[in-house]
Chain A
């Protein structure tokens, strides 16, 4: 079996190479392809690098163009000030607090979304109850209502419940997800009926089946969805802007916006740059650490 698989993949690889030769992919065109890719990477990476460079210079250097291309000597000063000194324009709140707020929100949204959508997909796919299709369609229809459309009523509800300036208020309205429910529904439907029946014969009730069979089989999907949802939560702008008033409940994205004044001189650019670096760091780390699972979850299903 394994042997056959290796043979197949070698055959496929050979096929690809032959195909490459047939399509006339020469050495030169390969160089061109690489050049295009390198230019692409440069276009994406350079602004990020430049942000980092700016975050290591003093405000004076930044305000006096041109900005040097190499990091300056204020790295420790700027990062210390941003993390522990507090940033003036957003009420002296340190970047640490902002990071904590954002992490709580992003994790809450990602985990909450996954828990809710896994459970609702589990119910829709594996149980027969009255109104099953009705509920499925209700969930499906909410796909057509983005956050922005229902933002006012949601805001009113949050105010009435006294959830303004709370983590619950930040997380709860963004937690339900039709997209994730649909994804899990599609995945669960590919699980063979025989497997479900084998588990029933083996004496596994619904929870045992969920815990011992369904979750282990979905772990790559869970990881992929976690990455997507974490970044979705991390980059939320409109909702946190509405639902938080006090400075120490701000998320990092909101704080960034507030730190920038229209007058250049009022803006502490060196601190803005430090905050920007902090704002992009966690999503990058999540993707880096979960990349293997993430890609696996998108391309293969282990069955």
Chain B
């Protein structure tokens, strides 16, 4: 058990391609840090640098107050769970879990005790004599977890461990991983591209884009105050609506490019004429009864009735379809049909403003 600290960690391939462009994160003891981002954002590279599988070009990685830059993966005292589980196909489940311990020269009885303990925790006790190919995907995933926990390492590293499971199993394993990590209290770094996984698992969420950490915070803080349009678009499903707008006259709020004005917040309104993007999550658009109470009118092009709520896709009625897609999440089952025009109010307190040029939060 230990803290994991990254200080200005960089990775450059062949002196030119920068995969990770300087990332600093402090992960406190026992916390779960999730790295999330689109593919190619450098999240896996970063994880592999923590694991020692990839060399660190510059910066330092410390595990438990000890700089581990030059240590091999085995000496860092970490355990890793791989995307494709990477179980040894010719070994029984028992040997798969015991292999790392044997290599460390641990006493046989101690190995046996640890393997059986871990197998008990993960519900693998019946499967110890099987080989990986005789197991289902979920069971393999558990063995991979077991291989990590028998070692009682300083840190767990997860590299998209759930991406090969079906949706139902994924949800189930997600909760199991969360509970296991909590009860063992082992510092963990978890890489995923799935924002639901990221939101539910993380104590600290790191949203990465093109080798940089766009935002590091708790999941809810990131959801409530995204630092940039990238984060705003990546976290939350369906994605946040971004409406082109510009600052209106003092005290008059924002002029939407699609027509109409909104007053998202009392303070910090942009000066007149400044181009901004107004970010509104689909759940913060509410259906109003009268047209003159509406901040924006939406022409519906598609409806997804999910039962608990209804997603209406469309575009601002004053603009054209290319002015930007608009999605509204309406509670319950609302009767909406294609072609309807919905008067919508923007929950002004929950709206976000981003600079149109830099994409940063205002």
Contact = CB atoms under 8 A, between A and B. Distances in A.
Contacts of B74: 200-204
Contacts of B85: 194
Contacts of B79: 201
B80 A198 contact: yes
Interface stretch (B97-105, B199-207, B220-228): B97-105
A201 B251 CA distance: 61
Given A2-B134, A203-B74, A198 B86 contact: yes
Contact of A202 (B53, B99, B133): B99
B136 interface: yes
B134 A217 contact: no
Interface in A1-50: 1-2
Contacts of A198: 80, 82, 86-88, 147
A204 B136 contact: no
B86 A200 contact: no
Interface residues of A, number: 20
A75 to B, nearest CB: 46
Nearest to B74: A203
Greatest chain A CB density within 10 A among B83, B87, B90 is at B90
B100 A201 contact: yes
A203 B103 contact: yes
B57 interface: no
Contacts of A150: none
Contacts of B177: none
A204 B90 contact: no
Given A197-B73, A201-B80, A1 B86 contact: no
Interface in B74-117: 74, 78-80, 82-90, 99-100, 103-104
A120 to B, nearest CB: 23
B53 to A, nearest CB: 5
Interface string A278-303: 00000000000000000000000011
Greatest chain B CB density within 10 A among A197, A201, A216 is at A201
A157 interface: no
A197 B80 contact: yes
A192 to B, nearest CB: 7
A194 B90 CA distance: 15
A7 to B, nearest CB: 14
B83 A194 contact: yes
A195 B73 contact: no
A36 B27 CA distance: 73
A197 B72 contact: no
B135 interface: yes
A198 B147 CA distance: 10
Contacts of B134: 1-2
A187 to B, nearest CB: 14
Given A198-B88, A208-B103, 8 more contacts: A194-B86, A195-B88, A197-B53, A197-B86, A201-B74, A201-B79, A201-B100, A203-B103
10 contacts: A1-B135, A1-B136, A2-B134, A194-B85, A197-B80, A197-B86, A200-B74, A201-B51, A201-B100, A204-B103
Interface of A: 1-2, 192, 194-195, 197-204, 208, 212-213, 216-217, 302-303
Interface of B: 51-53, 72-74, 78-80, 82-90, 99-100, 103-104, 133-137, 147
